[in-house]
Structures are given as C-alpha cells and as structure tokens.
Amino acid sequence: MAKTYSKNGIKQEIVGKLRRHFSREVTEANAKQIYLACAMVIRDELVERMMEAQAKIKENEERQVHYLCMEFLIGRSLRNNAFNLGMQEALEGALADLGYEVADIFEVEDDPGLGNGGLGRLAACYMDSMATLGMAGNGYSIRYENGIFRQKIENGAQIEQPDTWLETGAAWQIPAMDDAREVRIGGAVKTRWEDGRLVVEHTDYTPVIAVPYDMPISGYNTENIARLRLWQAKSPIALDMEAFSRGDYLKAVEKVAMAESISKVLYPEDNHLAGQSLRLKQQYFLVSATIQDICAKHKARYGTLQNFAEKNVLHINDTHPALVIPELMRILMDEEGMSWEMAWNNVSQSVAYTNHTVMPEALECWPTDLVQAHMPRVMMIINEINERYCKELWNYYPGDFDRISKLAIVADGQVRMANLAVVGSFSVNGVSELHSGILREKVFSDLFRVYSTKFCNVTNGIALRRWLCEANPELTELIRSKIGNGFITHPSELQVLSNFGSDPKLLRQLKQIKDHNKQRLAAYIAEHNKIEVNLDSIFDVQVKRLHEYKRQMLNILHVMAMYHQIKKNPSAPLVPRTIIFGSKAAPGYAAAKKTIQLIHSIANMVNHDPDVGDKLKVVFIEDYRVSLAELIMPAAELSEQISLAGKEASGTGNMKFMMNGALTIGTMDGANIEICQAVGPENIFIFGMETPEAEALAASGAYCARDYYNANPVLKDVLDHIRRGFGDHVDYNDVVAGLIDGGPGRTDRFMICKDFESYCLAQERVAQMYQRPENWNYMSLINIANSGRFAADRAVAEYAQNIWRVHTNFAY
Ligand SMILES: *Cc1c(COP(=O)(O)O)cnc(C)c1O
C-alpha cells in the first residue's frame, strides 16, 4: 500500500540528511543543500520501491520492455516525484516549517539536458506512463557529462555554454558498479571454423567500461517504478603505465581520455545527422552495454537465450540505436553458439522501431569504413544480413537491380540505418497518422510492399501529470472541481468538460487562470528580458528547436508585417500581441543561428519604437528547456505550429499547448491534423498548403518564391526592409537571398513565401476571435476537453497492446 507522508516525518528526515551528509544544521544550510537533502529523502523511498518492482518482474517472468534512446529529456525530478508519490503537500509544509518556499527549492534543480528536443522529451514522457501503467519498463541511454548546451544571448547572437547538470542531477542516480560491462571498440577480427562452428577472435580492441547509473522513474499513484539506466564510459586503466614510466605524461592519460570521451557530451543536432566518428562510438557503446546487460540478466533468470524474444522487447527510438540488431546477433551466435537462423528469429522478433523524421538530412547513413574500423565484427554481421535480405528482395523484385540496390542496407560505401531497422524489426511505426502514411507511401514504399504487416502508427502523446497537473495547478483544480479526479489517470474523461461549454462562469474562470499564468510568465520576462509586456495582449508563442522546416521565419515575417501596419497608421485599432520565441539552434547550423539574430534585431526595433507602444512586443526567452516549457505552456494563448506540411513528424509541443488551453494556429502537418479532427475545424486556425500540394509543388521544380514577393506588397515591404537591415550592423542579405534570389526550385526550400498570405489571413482570424472573449474561452475549453487522446498514457497503452504485447492497467 502507498505510504502516507506526514509533514513532520519529512521534516525530520530532511534535518537528518543535512546533518549526516553535509554536517549542517538547517539554519546553516544553503538552498542547494536543502534541495539535495529533499532529493535524498525521496530517493530513499524510490529506490526501495524500484527494488521491489525489479524483484516482481523477475518473479512473474513478465515480458520486459527495453526502450533504447540516445536522448531522454527528463526535466526536473523533485517536484515530479513528490507529486507522483502524493507527498507534495507534506514536502511543502515541511519546507515552510524550515523557512523555505517549496518553489524556490524546486528552482535549485538544473534541468538534466540529456536530449535535444521532441525526441528526447517523448522518451521521458513514455517512461512516466510506463511506470504509471504498471509496466516493467526500462529505459537506456548515455549519462552525458555535458547535456544540451546552455544558451546565452549576447548582442542578439546565440552563445553556447557547457551544461553542468550533474551537480544537482546526480542526486537521483544510483551507480550499479557490479553491473558494469565491457564494450570493445576497434581492433581486428579473425574467424575460423572449428568442429563445424565459426569461432570469432577479436583482438587489439580498445576496451571501454560502461558503468550504469540508475534513475528510478516514479508513476502517479502507484508503487510501480520504472528504471532509467544511464551508461557512463570509464577507462579500464587509470593511466598508461608504460608511457608514464617513459615520462610521456600526455600519452599516459590520452588513452584514458579517449575511452571516457564517449560519454562526455550530447551531440546538439536535432533532426540532423551529426556524422562524427565519436557519435557512432556513442551509439555502439549504448547498444552493446545495454544488450550485454539484458542478455546477462536473461541468462541468469532462464538459463538460456533461446526464449529471448518471448521475454524481451527492444524498442529503438529512431535509428540511433539500430546497431542492437547486429550486436544481438553477435552475442547470440558468437557467445551463445546459436545458428544464424535461430539468432535471427530472436532478433527480428524482439526489436521494434519507431521512425521520427522524414527529413532526408536526418536519415542516418554511416560510412562502411567507419563501422568497419570501430566495430569490425558488427560490420561483418551487417554485410551478412544485407546479403540474405537482398536475396529475399530478389523474389519480390526479380531482375530489378536498381530497386534492390536502392533498398539495400549496405550500398555505395554506406550502411543505411533506416533500412537495417526496418529489416531487423517486427514492427515499424510512425508518430502521427500523416507521418505513418508518408512512411508507407513515400519513404519506405518499396519496403512496405515486402513487409506490409510490420507497419503501423502510434500518434505521440505527452505526460499529462507533468504538463497539466504540475505545470498548471490552478487549471487542474478547476477541472477537478467540475469532473472529479478521474482524468488524471483516465485522460479521456477530460471530454466531460465539453458539457460546460455554455457555463459562463466556468469560461470566465478559465480566462482568470490564463491571466494568472500570463502574469507569472510576464514576471519572468520582466526579470530576465527587462521587457514589460502588455497583459491584455495575445500571448502568441513559438517555442521549439530552431529549424528551417519549423518556419520560425514565417512567424517573423508576420511580425514585420504587423510592425509595418502600425507604422503606416499608428492610431488604427489593433489587437495587441506579445510574440514569444524560445529556441536553441545547433551550434553548427548557420541559418538557424542567423534566424535567432534576426529575431533580436527585430525585437530591438519593435520594442523601442514609441509608435508601437504596448501594441506589439517581441520576446526571445533564453535557454528554452523543459522547466521553462512548464512555465510557458500554461501562459500561452496562441500556439504556433507552422511547419511546412509533410515535414513535422508529429510534434508534441502542440499537445502541451492544447492541454493548457491555447488555441493552435497551424498547418495540416504532423499531429496538428489529429488535433484539428479532435476539436473540429472551427476551434483551430488552419492555414497553408496541405502535404500533397506542397509535395507536388516541390517535385515540379517550378516553385518560384520571387513570384510571391512580386505579387504581395506586404511581403515585398517586409523582405525589402530586412534586406536594408536594422541599423545594427548585421547584414541580412543572405536571409532574403535564401528566400527569393535565385531561380525556380532553388530558393525558399520550405515555401515560406507561398504560405505567407494564408498565414496572415489566419492571424487576422485569430485577432478577430480574440476580441470575442466568450468565443475564445469556449474554444479554449473545447481544446482542453479534447486533449486526453494526446496523453502519453494512451500512446504507451497502444504500444503495449499493439506492438509490445504486454499487459497494462490502462483503462480506455
Ligand atoms: C515538448 C518539447 C519540445 C518539442 O517541441 P515541438 O514543438 O514538438 O518541436 C522541445 N523542447 C522541449 C524543451 C520540450 O519540452
């Protein structure tokens, strides 16, 4: 039974931790020590429960889900765990008695930045749901010493600073030294036949020790705990003694540094292939340590690996961990002596693959030389998989060499990870209806003909407890008072809220809560940006990674259009807006960084123009991350989801906004389509081309952005102004040139100019609707009421039922 926590009990435990671990009395302790003491108190409870959960899995011989992902953007843990364990109130009281505001202590915790954006956040939301749904869930990733960089803005430009999350983050992790595994990188492989068996000898490799650190992941109102295992790379030797005794000190530490560099830093590219050799080593490091670990545990439990697929699912979140396929083959054959066929059966019935992007620059292809150099045995196995598979393809496409070489896993000196993932898994899914359709019909259309039964869809979802209950307690309380507590674990019950659409009091309360949340965000902006925003303005928000396909540029062009409108006629009535951006750009992505600079140049002009006053403000919030998203989402009124149709696989930011009552302005892309279906087209602002039109136009090669510039005086004025610059010595010629200078099919890859007019018209509709608060608030209510289907609980229950074939306690 769930333990209940008293204020005094917790207080005593905090005091005890402070004395024993920091030798401080409460009166002498600083906020960080208080935070760490709180974390230790809660961790004690989590660890005990995790041990019980792990013991139960073993006893029940349940099929386990192993979720492999290079990123887990988990966000802060203290409030989340306190909330899930039902001890938030007791903790709050205890801290108040000790003279602290609970909110200030939460703020001490750094965001563990072990991810870039949507992909990593999704993995974290799913861990929460796996725990809550009573599943035997295990996540695996890398314990990056430096997570995603911290973003500072200096003179309008992004500066990257290292992230030192471990100072406060390590408090939630338990090292499990006895589960350390050796990963072998590089070296040479020799094979020979002995008694009809292939013997593989791997020599001259560099051993790297993978040390696991376990994070217990709590679920809501359950004893069950999921486990996130983060591997850290350690050198097996402290020093190269031979070099050391020669007096070559640098050489002596070099080997150690090489090994340990593997878990030093997260690659900051989102939806883009990094391509560096160290990244490949990271992928193999994660995969090899994880598979060895799972196999060792399995063998200890069952005495054999023959029933591996029956008891384990290996879920690969995008292709980054796709080396699980050859690595598990290696262990089953080389170490267990299984035949190819039996090993392949186990592999291809335990691996499931989720694709996350259709952007060609994000589809992973590794040079075969690199794979060969770092993991020679794995390369041999990939070649063998490829040969057998190409033979099979011959039956489907006899004589069609072109098609077969296009579908091959190894070709043109590259290993195509997506093809490997499709071939080696029993399930392939996309993350929204639209995206899964594009996978079937475009990206994998030829493979779909061969493996049609593998393909399915699971639309993404978000952790309702974190994104609604914790981030927006006032709204949660209002919902509770109307429909009870059930929605917290049965998200579809939110639907009942739509019965209150004609309750004017409720609609007013919704608006009041939104206003409170706007005030909180405004206070943050006043402190950090030194900008006073107009609380009566529309909080119009675009927060997400900076990427050309996400089209922050389209938003900026509209801001410029509004600015010109004001300048032309300063006294004309205008619905005031605060445009809020938050976004990191990959450090090597010049166009994205330039966009950040442009936002700042424009903000500087707009925010200081007396003609503008409080009609328009542009705010860039530095260092967008999970904890800031928790502040921003509840305060947002308009959610900008304006990617070019066909490019955003799903989006999850769109779901967080919706659940907090923001209305969406968006294209028919990713999960926006399903949001539109859920709320009805009258409760969302849709604009722009749809996917078929966008794809046909791109394919025709005839798209000419300059035609739109010539035809639309508003767009022309905006682009001309940007070209002239803002008197701040930053040259934006390249930005405008990238949009309109150059012939048809050569510029404006994401067709911003084409969708500009339709976007401006949709923004007009937004402004008009905002002037009718009853209607706006009603639309907001309908969005909240229909957001239940975008809860991660629903998504994880679908994975469990349709893909993983494991039981959950989710009730639809
Ligand atoms: C949800 C989330 C994302 C994903 O946002 P999209 O709009 O879906 O791209 C990225 N970063 C953070 C910090 C998030 O919380």
Express each pLDDT in 191-215 by its tens digit: 999 988 889 999 999 999 999 999 9
Residue 106 tokens read as 């939460």
Contact present, 707 and 748 (Cβ < 8 Å): no
Same domain, 724 and 777: yes
Instruction: Note if 544 is an active site residue.
Output: yes
Q: For residue 429, what pLDDT is reported? A: 98
Map tokens 């899914």 to a residue.
429
Distance CA 339, CA 321 (A): 24
Nearest CA to ligand 1 atom 1: 653
**8 A C-beta contact, residue 689 and residue 696:** no
Whether residue 51 sits in one domain with residue 115: no
Residues 214 and 252 in one domain: yes
If you take atom 8 of ligand 1, which residue's CA is the nearest one? 651
d(CA 726, CA 734): 14
Residue nearest to atom 9 of ligand 1 (CA): 544
Query: Domain ends where: 460, 485, 520?
Result: 460
Answer yes or no: is pLDDT of 243 > 90: no
Rounded to the nearest angstrom, the distance between the alpha carbon of 336 and the centre of ligand 1 is: 42
pTM exceeding the 0.95 threshold for the entire prediction: yes
Of 550, 551, 577, 754, catalytic? 550
> Do 510 and 542 fall into the same domain?
yes
Q: pLDDT, tens digit, for every residue of 159-196?
A: 999 999 999 999 999 999 999 999 999 999 999 999 88
The per-residue pLDDT for range 345-355, each reduced to its tens digit, is 999 999 999 99
Is residue 181 situated within a structural domain?
yes
Which band of pLDDT confidence, cut at 50, 70 and 90, is reported for residue 77?
Answer: very high
In a domain, 162, yes or no: yes
Residue 1 has a pLDDT of: 40
Q: How far apart are the C-alpha atoms of 108 and 646, rounded to whole Å?
A: 40
* Cβ density class 752-761: b for 16+ within 10 Å, e for less: bbbbbbebbe
What is the CB neighbour count within 10 angstroms for residue 610?
6
Query: Can you read off the two tokens belonging to residue 519?
Result: 């005030």
Distance (Å, whole) CA 462 – CA 654: 10
Quick check: 2 pLDDT over 60?
no
Q: Atom 3 (ligand 1): residue with closest C-alpha?
A: 118
Is the pLDDT at 89 greater than 90? The verdict is yes
The mean pLDDT value for 721-738 works out to 97
Domain co-membership, 140 together with 288: yes
Distance CA 432, CA 442 (A): 15
* Strand residue runs (E) in 533-690: 538-543, 577-582, 616-621, 638-641, 663-666, 685-686
- Pocket mutation for ligand 1, best pick of 151, 652, 674 (most atoms within 8 Å of C-beta): 652
Binding-site residues, ligand 1, Cβ < 6 A = 117-118, 121, 544-545, 624-626, 629, 651-653, 656
State yes or no: is 652 an active-site residue.
yes
The pick from 545, 625, 647 for probing ligand 1's pocket by mutation, whose C-beta has the most ligand atoms within 8 angstroms, reads 545
Q: What is the pLDDT of residue 195?
A: 87
Which of helix, strand or coil describes residue 388? helix
Query: Of these residues, 132, 168, 319, 652, which one is catalytic?
Result: 652
**CA-626 nearest atom, ligand 1:** 13
| DSSP letters for 141-200 | EE--SB-SPEEEEETTEEEEE---THHHHGGG-EE-GGG-EEEEES-EEEEEEETTEEEE
pLDDT at 3: 64
Q: What is the 653 CA–ligand 1 centroid distance (Å)? A: 5
Tokens representing 618 are 């542009």
Is residue 253 one of the residues assigned to a domain?
A: yes
Query: Are 328 and 358 found together in one domain?
Result: yes
Helices (H), ranges, 424-571: 433-438, 445-450, 464, 473-483, 504-529, 552-568
The residue contributing the CA closest to ligand 1 atom 10 is 117
Place 364 in a pLDDT band, splitting at 50, 70 and 90: very high
Cα–Cα distance for residue pair 375/367, rounded to 1 Å: 12
Residue 285: CB atoms within 10 A of its CB come to: 25
User: Which atom of ligand 1 lies at the shortest distance from residue 624's CA?
Assistant: 13
Position in ligand 1 atom list of the atom nearest CA 650: 8
* Between 244 and 427, residue with greater pLDDT: 427
Query: Catalytic site residue 416?
Result: no
Name the active-site residue from 229, 315, 356, 584: 356
CB 157 within 8 A of CB 596: yes
How far, in Å, from the CA of 584 to the mean position of ligand 1?
A: 11
Same domain assignment for residues 521 and 552: yes
Burial group, residue 88, by CB count within 10 angstroms (0-12, 13-18, 19+): buried
Among 544, 558, 594, 600, the one annotated catalytic:
544
Q: At what angle do helices 773-785 and 504-529 cross, to 10 degrees?
A: 90
Q: Strands of 219-350 (E only): list them.
A: 225-234, 312-317
d(CA 805, CA 128): 19
**391: in domain:** no
Which position among 656, 754, 789, 794 bears the catalytic label?
656
Burial class (CB in 10 A: 0-12, 13-18, 19+), 684: buried
Average pLDDT of the segment spanning 670-689: 98
Q: What's the gap in Å between 117 CA and the centre of ligand 1?
A: 5
Cα 652 to ligand 1 centroid, rounded to whole Å: 6
Please give the number of the atom of ligand 1 that sits closest to the Cα of 641: 7
What would the two tokens of residue 750 be?
């994401």
Q: Which whole number is the average pLDDT over 583-608? A: 98
Do 8 and 153 lie in one domain? The reply is: no
Ligand 1: centre distance to CA 436 (Å): 20
Helices marked H in 471-543:
473-483, 504-529
622 and 705 part of one domain = yes
Please give the average per-residue pLDDT across 617-641, as a whole number: 98
Instruction: Output the CA 260–ligand 1 centroid distance in Å.
Output: 30
Tell me, yes or no, whether 635 lies in a domain: yes
- CATH number at 739 reads 3.40.50.2000
Q: Under 8 Å CB-to-CB from 218, ≥6 apart: which residues?
A: 46, 49, 80, 81, 84, 85, 131, 225
Cα separation, 748 vs 732, in Å, equals 15
For residue 716, pLDDT over 80 is answered with yes
74 burial (CB, 10 Å; 0-12 / 13-18 / 19+) is buried
What's the CA gap between 563 and 180, in Å, rounded? 59
Structural domain span for residue 437: 63-76+111-378+412-460
- As a whole number of angstroms, the distance between CA 698 and CA 694 comes to 6
Catalytic residue among 76, 545, 551, 754: 545
Which atom in ligand 1 lies closest to the alpha carbon of residue 543?
Answer: 7
Q: Whose CA is nearest to atom 11 of ligand 1?
A: 117
Identify whether the C-beta of residue 394 lies closer than 8 Å to the C-beta of residue 632. no
Ligand 1 atom having least distance to the Cα of 655: 8
The answer to whether 291 and 141 have CB atoms below 8 angstroms apart is no
622 CA from centroid of ligand 1 (Å): 15
- The answer, yes or no, to whether residue 791 has pLDDT greater than 90, is yes
The mean predicted confidence, pLDDT, of the chain is: 96
pLDDT digits (tens, 9 = 90+) for 298-315: 999 999 999 999 999 999
Q: How far is CA 346 from CA 87, 295, 341, 454, 783, in A?
A: 43, 12, 9, 16, 44
Domain-embedded: residue 383: no
First to last CA, the chain: 24
Which tokens in the block code for residue 82?
Answer: 């306190």
Q: Is residue 229 part of a domain?
A: yes
**How many whole angstroms from 488 Cα to the centroid of ligand 1?**
22
Could you tell me if 477 and 419 lie in one domain?
Answer: no
Name the residue with the closest Cα to ligand 1, atom 4: 118
Q: Which long-range contacts (CB under 8 A, 24 or more apart) does 498-504 make?
A: 498/781, 498/782, 498/785, 498/786, 500/781, 501/778, 501/781, 501/782, 504/774
389's tokens: 């598979």
Q: What pLDDT sits at residue 527? A: 98
Do 471 and 526 fall into the same domain? yes
Q: What is the number of the ligand 1 atom nearest to the C-alpha of 656?
A: 1
Distance of alpha carbon 117 from alpha carbon 239, whole angstroms: 37
The Cα diameter of the chain in Å comes to 92
Total number of domains constituting the chain: 3
Is residue 798 included in any domain, yes or no?
Answer: no
Whether residue 2 is found in the same domain as residue 95: yes
